[in-house]
Structure 1
Amino acid sequence: MKKLYPFFISFVVALGGFLLGFDSAVISGAVGGISDYFSMTDWELGFSVGCVIFGAMAGNISAGPLSDRFGRKKILLLTAILFTVSALWSALATSYVEFILARIIGGIGIGGAILIAPIYIAEIAPPKIRGSLVSLNQLNIVLGISVAYFSNYFLKDIEVDSWRWMLGVETIPAIIYFFALLAIPKSPRWLIQQHNLIEAAERILIKIGGQEYARNTIDEIKSNIAKKVKKGTFKQLLSRRLRNIIIIAFGIAFFQQITGINAIFYYAPTIFEQAGGSSDSSFLQAIVVGLTNLVFTLVAIRLIDRLGRKPLLIMGTATMTVALTMATFAFNNATYNLNKNNIQSIENTDIKNAISSLEGMSFSSQTALFNTLNPLLNKSQLVDFKRNEVKKFININATLVLIAILSYVAAFAISLGPVMWTLLSEIFPGNIKGIAISVVGFFNSLVSYTVTQFFPWELTNLGPTLTFAIYAGMAGLSLLFVLKYVVETKGKTLEEIEQSLVKN
């Protein structure tokens, strides 16, 4: 088998994942800057971070059908253009509305890239290495996240609007991605299924796996096409024939996001500041999060075609549950001490004067602290204290928080991160794959938006203890779902997977 050529193709396509990861994580370093520059409330901040997912939903719902019509390659080229436009415009934005529009454009690119890249790779990859090659997309996503954290750390000290540089630097990899895509072929399965261009597809398949591989693959595709009456439709997704596939797809898409992974990636420095860290240390800890994600994604790529998809999901979701429970425990045991030095460090003079009478007091929870402050501060002052000042008073086992977050990210990186997209690229029948993954991707983005939008509000109003407790509960439910519903697809051709899952 010729591994080098399919690896090259897959790596180039997966560079879209790098941009996706970079775009997702770079905002974490810019949160403070954009919040101050545009004078945002908690809700506006959550929307400015989460609005990218609205664009992703548009990309999700349209990318599949468009890729069926125009081809996977052309849609990937379009995503590269969208990433470029978004990076430049968001860096140059002078109003809140401009910034939101620029972020949404980038989101459309994310929605297209996150769906079409794994579809394309699955369609060109030989079965024995398909899981590893599809996982290259997830590897590039986490590589983009790590590079974004490094980039943010080195750009954070630029004196004037460092957030503009953080967001604008994405233009460079976006342009590189566009020109790299010009070197890859069209999907051979798409050429046959949509246009019956057998000779063109055969030339590509020979370069991927040799004459015998090309002949066998074309025979399988033809056999599968012969069984199809018509192209897939949205209505077909609701048929009883696809019930098993739909349960797996929507379930895994729901649990991948509801367990809070994007809250960690989008707000990593904010979370570590909640645990009492300084701005510098919080950015450094975010880098460690990115590196952990990268290392364990490499582990997943090595194991996904050896152990299989389901064992990785079981190990990962179980560990995520334990890790999030640890974080809940750490924040629940935190105390809040109002000593003289901490009170003097408050920037808002009115707040400082209002709570000076509490000097020397200690509280066993955020709730007890806020209940005491409630009659002393007006509404806006209390919100300001919750957002900006409470972290100065926390006494917490910060090491336990760091271990919990890193364990959670590592577990996600070997399970729900790469495995979900591998499964989605495998389980849907070829005639409906584009439409189906668009719908599931839209749903996945909707759940992601909900988590991202409400996270700043949850930290302010529910506190970190209850926030992480909710995520821990969801991780436990995801483990139960995997045990009951997810099937193994390791080593099977796409046609064999379809035959085993689709009811006659």
Structure 2
Amino acid sequence: MTSYQFAAIRYAAIVAFGGFIFGLDAALISGVVRDITEVFDLSAFQVGLVVGSPGYGVLFALFLAGYLADKLGRKKTLQIIASLYVVSAVASAIAPSYETLVAARFLGGLAFTSLSLASMYIGEIAPPKARGKLVAMNQMAIVVGLSAAYLSVFAVHWISELQLSWVSALMIDTQTWRWMLGVEILPALIWVLLLFSIPESPRWLVLRGRIDEAEAVMAKLVPPAELALEMQGVRESSAHGHKNHSVWHQLQDLFSPNVRKALIIAVVIAFFQQTVGINAVMFYAPIIFEQVGLGTNAALFNGVYIGLISVLATALALALIDKLGRRALIIVGLVVAGVSLLSCAWAFSQATYGLTGETLASLAEHLDVSSLQALQGVTFDSDLSFKAALVEQLGPKVARDNEAVLFQYAANMNATVILFGVLAFIAAFQFSIGPVMWVLFSELFPIHVRSVAIPAMALVASIVSAMVQQLFPIQLEVMGSSGVFFTYGVSAVLALILLAWLMPETKGKSIEEIEQMLAAK
């Protein structure tokens, strides 16, 4: 490995560490949904708001992200984002009420723009032949963060059940969910410090007319023999479009005929990346596994498998993205995702639910079952009808608070198909549309519109993501598990059809070559 390759990898790894923080922030909430629902007595809408509030925060921030990245530079904007993660993590862990928890997580959502800024920065410093791997490092960091979050949630939950004095002294047994959310604080602080060691993007420096500084940074990234040619290409690309690189003029250029093809592809992938339901599955994983009848402890532990599968699938994508190309990964991944999601929908549709005398005796250890005697021997053919009967007999709060254990004893379904389907879907997503979307964002758009285009596409993905997260608890109440997974499966099939038709191959091409290729179509 040359010093130039090492420099590019080091800078990309530091910026991609923000993806690790994002993964932690996003997935830690999965372990506390049940606790905060009971502590703050939340409705389905309120649960969705707590989980989805970062998605609303990022909607607001993305309107400013492009402006700040353009005016302050990529580096300073990333440093602001990292600081927001720290403040949000502390505020979430100490939140005294539902409203303050939502506000703290909304603040963390402002920092979710790190994904689009990281993609932008890494795409601008990476050599063409390694850009796919380096940009996909951001996705690898995300899934490692997700894995660390699931493992942390399970570890904190396990510690909270230990009958030890120091556990009680630190209130881990009584304030378990606060400790789970507090896991993020230290990594966020580390990222703030690491960002001081990266240079500014050379392509942004060229846009600002700071040519000497751009050459000094580029000299760290490419050999002397290639420096003049690389700088010439950057200058030519930055000169395209309006000479005035304001946000308004970048928006005008974004809808110009030469950029239109790139815009259509990016919007399609940004929309469908979220409608397949990845964030619902990842952020509500324990709730989904409880619907299968696993119980709380097993549901939390299965989150660890989700993290492990995510890491392995993303590592495979990282190894293959610059060999097989972006298009092949997308097509293979969406085929597997569609089959997996529709298999889950079928398995849930075949499930039945019922309480016997034996199961009622076992449930008596957890709650008063006298009200459930009327349900003994009755078989329900859907989770919706079973939940409705539980609410009628126990009342909404008792039924909700004990849903995990009730499903554990009452559910009768092909759990293997569902568990395998969920894990296969996650593997397919992390192998394909997960990392490939950010790689494409870093490649498709010319330099003169990137500070608007990439945050704008992240905005599209974030709007859809926020809706998916907000609606999942409500969909679960209205459509049942089968209906929810069916809609996600249909979305994966539509994504496959559209992207197979629209998406060209971009591997091994410079940003400038991709610009010319798409402008010609």
TM over 0.5: yes
Identify the residue that residue 181 of structure 1 maps to in structure 2.
195
Question: Match for 1:7: what amino acid?
Answer: I
- Does the alignment pair 1:196 with 2:209? yes
The structural deviation recorded for 1:474 is 0.5
1:359 and 2:376 correspond:
yes
Instruction: Tell me: CA distance 1:445–1:202, structure 2 relative to 1, closer, same or farther (3 Å).
Output: same
Task: Verify: 1:87 aligned to 2:99, yes or no.
Answer: no
Matches within 5 A, 1:476-491: 476-491=493-508
Structure 2: segments with no counterpart, 5+ residues: 161-171
**What residue identity is the alignment partner of 2:458?**
G
CA distance in 2, matches of 1:227, 1:466: 48
Q: Normalising by the residue count of structure 2, what TM-score does the alignment of the two structures yield?
A: 0.92
- SS across alignment from 1:336: strand
The whole-number CA distance in structure 1 between the counterparts of 2:185 and 2:457 is 29
Letter in 2 for 1:468: F
Q: Which residue of 1 aligns with 2:165?
A: none
Secondary structure at 2:353 match in 1: strand
Deviations 1:322-362 (A, max 9, x none): 1111111221121112112433527664xx44441221222
Is residue 168 from structure 1 mapped to residue 182 from structure 2 by the alignment?
yes
**One-letter identity of the residue aligned with 1:182:** F
Alpha-carbon distance in structure 2 between the residues aligned to 1:266 and 1:389: 22
Q: Match for residue 45 of structure 1?
A: 47
In structure 1, distance between residues paired with 2:317 and 2:394: 50
Distance in structure 2 (CA, Å) of the matches to 1:470 and 1:154: 33
Match of 2:340 among 309, 320, 323: 323
Q: CA deviation at 1:502?
A: 2.6
CA–CA distance in structure 1, aligned partners of residues 234 and 59 of structure 2: 30
Alignment of 1:219 with 2:232, yes or no, is yes
**Which residue is equivalent to 1:120?**
121
Q: Structure 1 residues 295 and 375 mapped into 2: Cα distance closer, same or farther (>3 Å)? A: closer
Give percent identity, aligned residues only: 38
Q: CA deviation at 1:364?
A: 2.9
Which residue does 2:152 correspond to in 1? Answer: 151
Quick one: distance in 2 between partners of 1:272 and 1:380?
20
Pair 1:147–1:419, CA change in 2 (3 A):
same
SS in 1 for 2:197: coil
Measured after TM superposition, the shift of residue 225 of structure 1 is 3.0
Q: CA RMSD in A?
A: 2.0
Q: Secondary structure at the match of 2:509?
A: coil
CA distance in 2, matches of 1:378, 1:12: 51
1:125 and 1:178 map into 2 onto residues whose CA distance is 22
**Amino acid across the alignment from 1:451:** V
Q: How many residues align?
A: 500
Separation (CA, whole Å) in 1 of partners of 2:292 and 2:388: 20
1:233 Cα deviation from its structure 2 partner: 2.8
2:455 aligns to what? 438
1:361-415 C-alpha deviation (Å, 9 max, x unpaired)? 2233334545766876766677667687445411122222111111001100111
Shift in alpha-carbon separation, 1:343–1:74, aligned structure 2, 3 A? same
Match of 1:244 in 2: 261
Using structure 1 for the length normalisation, give the TM-score.
0.95
The 3-state SS of whatever aligns with 2:239 is helix
* 1:456 aligned residue (448, 462, 473): 473
Paired residue for 2:310?
293
**Deviation readout 1:17-43 (Å, 9 max, x if unpaired):** 000111000100111221122111111
Unaligned runs of 5+ in 1: none
SS at match of 1:448: helix
Q: Distance in 2 between matches of 1:280 and 1:374?
A: 24
Supply the distance in 2 between the matched residues of 1:52 and 1:252 (Cα, whole angstroms): 21
Distance 1:485 1:138 in 2: 23
Taking the aligned partners of 2:68 and 2:225, their CA distance within structure 1 comes to 32
Query: What is residue 496 of structure 1 aligned with on the other side?
Result: 513
Deviation, structure 1 residue 66: 0.9
Task: Kindly provide the amino acid, as one letter, of the partner of residue 191 in structure 1.
Answer: L
What is the identity, as a one-letter code, of the residue corresponding to 2:510? T
* 1: CA distance, partners of 2:199 / 2:436: 25
Question: What SS does structure 2 have at the residue aligned with 1:423?
Answer: helix
Q: Distance in 2 between matches of 1:239 and 1:447?
A: 25
The secondary structure found in structure 2 opposite 1:305 is coil
Q: Whole-Å Cα distance in 2 between the matches of residues 203 and 43 of structure 1?
A: 52
